[in-house]
Structure 1
Amino acid sequence: MKSLAQHSDLLIAIVMADIAIVLLVGAVLSRLIRRLRQPPVIGEIIAGIALGPSLLGLLPGDLTGRVFPTEARPYLTAIAQVGLLVFMFGIGWEFDKRLLKGRRGAAGAVSLGSIALAFGLGIALATMLYSHHDTVKGEHTSFTAFALFIGAAMSITAFPVLARMLTEHRMMGTRVGALALASAAIDDVMAWCLLALTAAIVTAGGASGDMAQIGILSAIYVALMALIVRPLLAHLTRRMVTDRVPPLYVIIIVAGLFLSSYGTTWIGIHSIFGAFAFGFVMPREPFDALAEGIKRPFDGISMVLLPVFFIVTGLNVDISSISGRGIVELLAILLVACAGKLIGAAIPGKLTGLPWREVGTLGLLMNTRGLTELIILNVGVSLGVLDGQMFTMMVVMALVTTALAGPLLPNAPASPDELADRRAARSTEPQAA
């Protein structure tokens, strides 16, 4: 009897069915989770974990293996990678220097404080965890690689999730909301640079010659993006984009995105950095045309393909494997993750003049990790730095730290315009007899 891999049509059909299952389960859980004042990404992450060995796999009949057979997983991984690269392009493009206007000092202090303390505590935690997680799939992992990666993973703040939370809680126009968003923007750039350095060190394997080569190639890449690609994109945008984006322009951007991702992969610092960098150097003007013709379609692609990334992640998460010492380690990870961001953001926030109530809100906002953390953790798996149990515990940490913010954040008072709209709506309602 032929294996499933030999029935290519059937295998592709299974992959399509898997995507449909992931989308539907994610949509249902996202709607349910919103009632708990949580961002939709929490529901999608839970969906990915639930469809893996943590829940579905516990049922009789190896349902996870049947629904997501081993032969289909490379296809799902490739599809998820496309969604991930498009998403990272969007993060780079959304970085707006205007966020920092009038807030450079305060945002820089909050970002640096939260990263420095989180990174330092992560390194300290790594010294305690390393001896139990120093072997990944039979290969020894160096302490330097493990410690740097844990530190970098603790340092991240999820800019997209944060922006969504601020919008839903009507905090975008508040002082603490604006400061948190500006700090998270700086935080993201610094954390990605830190992770790129970590990836380069891991890829070089400690060899000074390889590390030097990766460093030189990375510097050349950055120079090319800044001195050639950015001006070229600006020129093409001026020539081709007016009030709408032509199809040829979209093709050029998509091709550039994937070529940039290939370039950073070839250098040795992972494809997501190429996608982020290409989005970062992408022009922002004319904003309305680019938002409608590039950003909005790309967001649609991400909305469909990123849930596949969650199931690819969930298939590697087995919460049932955490017991005994693992529970103690998980609690330590959660403590370090929360303390690093809450205290690291609170101290500079207070020094900039925020009252204690807003200081606590700032710390909660900077502690959200969400999807961005999952991206980093998957990089750790692909680099051979995290074993299965460590990966599972870090995913749980990402889920908990993101979920903490929603119920604890205050809703900003409605604006005068919103209050006027509500009064007008009430005045037009039919009076009870």
Structure 2
Amino acid sequence: MAAAPPIESIVLADIALVLLAGTVMVKLGKRLRQPPVVGEITVGLMLGPSVLGLLPGDIPGMLFPGEALPMLSIVAQVGLVLFMFLAGMELDVTLLRGKGRAVSAMAGLSLAVPFALGAGAAALLYGRYGTGDVSHGVFALYLGTAFSITAFPVLARIIRDGGLSRTRVGALAMACAALGDVLAWCLLAVVVAVAQTGGVSRSASVIAWSVAYGLVMFLAVRPLAHRVVTRLSRDGDHGMLTTLVVSGVFLSSCATSWIGIHAIFGAFVFGMVMPRDALPGQLGQVAVSLEKVSALFLPVFFVITGLSVDVGALGWAGLLALLLIVAVAMVGKFAGAALPARLSGMSWREAGAFGTLMNTRGLTEIVILDIGRELGLISDQMFTMMVLMALLTTVVASPLLRALRMWPPAPAAAAGGGLPRPSERGPRDVTDDDTPLERV
């Protein structure tokens, strides 16, 4: 009998399997007019206990043995931090200029309403789906944050694919999602700090270090990055620029991990401090290269996530809880976004489209849920239900926009007034329609 293959060979075979399965599902998702992230999340669920685990034998355990998981996790982590860096570059804060008051009010409500409803739902869910090591307060803060998320990269893809970039609905959604993402990540950083230190008072040092880190990044690293990128771009030294950017991503991730929040915060902030005026040039080409690397590694993250999702273990009680979670998530985000939009002067159709766009969660939600699972903030069953909620709220966005006749927009709407066309500078400007960032 042949000896078992070395674990390194199994890891390589696993990565090949994930890439092939992901390619098939992404192509299928495009036919169904779904964002590629929907197909990749589905692959993660299919290869885990929710689908393959229903067949005789422990097929997920055979394909992804325990010894291979640490190596696969490292691959997934590389893809994840590069994705978060690119997401930080994509987050164009110039969208907020000149419209801060209106955007701040609507972004705040689209964040506050689902946060409040999520924290309220936590009171009903904590007894059964909380963990003994986490207080009800931390559980409620975390769940409220998870309910309030909008996936900015998925939202940007839907808006661009639907031709909504030049409508006031699309421009407002991009601006509100940009501000909402910043606020949500800051809130999550506080929740993680509190959870890891066991209380608000003991988390003071972590929060203080986080503030100091942010000041250093925006006051020192940002101007330094601008000078370095400008000089290397002028010299045409693409290789050196790529090396420095990747090293900066990893070192920034290491810094936030050492502080006690999470590695992805460092990658995200490092992306935010990159000079946007350099994106059409050499820095944009670096982004394209990193998109390709992230697109190869990130699907492994979905499989690692999918191995922790077991739909069959929910039972009837879990099904009722899932319905509650989906209802609270969709109603909270829709009401928090659509009603203020209607009061601001939009038609019901436009307000409905705005609420639908703000309800997309996708990969950003999965990342936040993985942090909660990793820190023991939620149980495995709660993790499963929240992943399904993230998938469902993303899947329904495209059909609802088509039902509202907002995809593609009418010519009059595209030429209408309201907020001006958002800036489209960023990695997308130097890529074609098939670049890997389109996968998110």
1:207 Cα offset (Å) = 6.2
1:14-53 correspondence runs (5 A): 14-53=10-49
8 Å contact from structure 1 (residues 106, 179) kept in 2: no
Partner of residue 324, structure 1: 316
Structure number with greater Rg is 1
Q: Is the 8 A contact 1:262 1:274 kept in 2?
A: yes
Distance 2:210 2:259 in 1: 7
- Residue 333 of structure 1 and its aligned partner are, at CA, apart by 0.4
Rate the CA distance shift 1:2–1:264 in 2: closer, same or farther, 3 A: farther
Match in the other structure for 1:100: 96
Conserved 8 A contact 2:338-2:351:
yes
Whether 1:58 aligns to 2:54 is yes
Shift of 1:238: 2.2
Question: Which of the numbers 256, 273, 296 marks the counterpart of 2:265?
Answer: 273
Change (3 A) 1:235 1:291: closer
Aligned-partner Cα distance in 1 for 2:301–2:39: 13
Query: Share of identical aligned residues, percent?
Result: 49
3-state SS in 2 of match to 1:249: helix
Give 5+ residue unaligned stretches, structure 2. 413-440
Matched, 1:159 2:155: no
* Change beyond 3 A, Cα 1:127–1:226: same
Q: Is the 8 A contact 1:107 1:180 kept in 2?
A: no
Of 106, 116, 121, the residue aligned with 1:110 is 106
Gaps of 5+ in 1: 417-433
The answer to whether the 8 Å contact 1:54/1:317 transfers is yes
Q: Does 1:85 align with 2:78?
A: no
Question: TM-score, length-normalised on structure 2?
Answer: 0.89
Contact 2:238 2:282 in 1 (8 A): no
Q: Distance in 1 between matches of 2:175 and 2:13?
A: 41
Partner of 1:191: 184
Check conservation: 2:360, 2:394, Cα contact below 8 A: yes
> Partner residue of 1:248?
240
- Aligned counterpart for 1:131 among listed residues 123, 127, 130: 127
- Equivalent AA in structure 2 for residue 165 of structure 1: I
Q: CA, structure 1 residues 191+324, in 2 after alignment: closer, same or farther (shift >3 Å)? A: same
Once the two structures are superposed, the pairs formed by residues 253-332 of structure 1 within 5 Å of their partners are: 253-332=245-324
Letter in 2 for 1:141: V
Q: 2:193 aligns with which of 200, 214, 227?
A: 200
1:411 and 2:404 are equivalent in the alignment: no
Work out whether residues 242 and 286 of structure 1, in 8 Å CA contact, stay in contact via their aligned partners in 2: no
Give the Cα separation in 2 of the matches to 1:30 and 1:238.
37
Which amino acid in 2 is paired with 1:128? L
Match of 1:431 in 2: none
- Cα drift, residue 243 of structure 1: 7.7
Structure 1 vs Structure 2 CA RMSD: 1.9
Are 1:181 and 2:170 counterparts?
no
CA shift, 1:286, in A, is: 2.1
Q: Given the alignment of the two structures, is residue 170 of structure 1 paired with residue 166 of structure 2, yes or no?
A: no
SS in structure 2 opposite 1:233? helix
Report the equivalent of 1:421: none
Structure 1 contact 126–147 (Cα < 8 Å) conserved: yes
Q: Return the offset for 1:266.
A: 0.8
CA contact (8 A) 1:200 1:211 kept: yes
Q: Residues 338-377 of structure 1: matches in 2 within 5 Å?
A: 338-377=330-369
Q: What is the count of residue pairs matched by the alignment? A: 409
